[in-house]
């Protein structure tokens, strides 16, 4: 256990930020799962809305360093491609 005040505070803040980051990642995964379910059901209007919301969440995750920029861009490209493939048959 650290004895410095600054290291104790750093431990507290890292736990808080870790929990916050985990919640953000979890919401990303949830929206992604809902998007894929909408595609499987053939509900493309709902899938498009979920795709837009997922894009927004990924952009916010990039901004707050929850997800790396390249990973988010790769995910967004693959989700878009999945929607396009599903619409075209």
Tens of pLDDT, residues 9-68:
999 999 999 999 999 999 999 999 999 999 999 999 999 999 999 999 999 999 999 999
* Cα–Cα dist 3/6, whole Å: 9
- The structural domains of the chain, ordered by start, are 5-88 (1.20.58.110)
The residue that leads in pLDDT, 76 or 2, is 76
Q: What is the pTM of this model?
A: 0.86
Q: Supply the Cα-derived Rg of the chain in whole angstroms.
A: 17
Q: What pLDDT score does 78 carry?
A: 97
Q: What pLDDT score does 3 carry?
A: 86
Are 55 and 71 a contacting pair, CB within 8 Å? no
The residue that leads in pLDDT, 8 or 1, is 8
DSSP state for residue 55 in the 8-state scheme: H
């Amino acid at each position: 256990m650290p004895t410095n005040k600054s290291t104790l505070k750093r431990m507290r803040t890292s736990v808080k930020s870790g929990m916050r980051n985990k919640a953000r990642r979890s919401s990303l995964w949830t929206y992604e799962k809902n998007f894929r379910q909408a595609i499987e059901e053939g509900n493309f209007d709902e899938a498009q809305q979920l795709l837009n919301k997922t894009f927004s969440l990924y952009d916010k995750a990039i901004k707050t360093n929850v997800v790396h920029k390249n990973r988010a861009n790769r995910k967004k490209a693959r989700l878009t491609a999945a929607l396009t493939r599903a619409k075209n048959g």
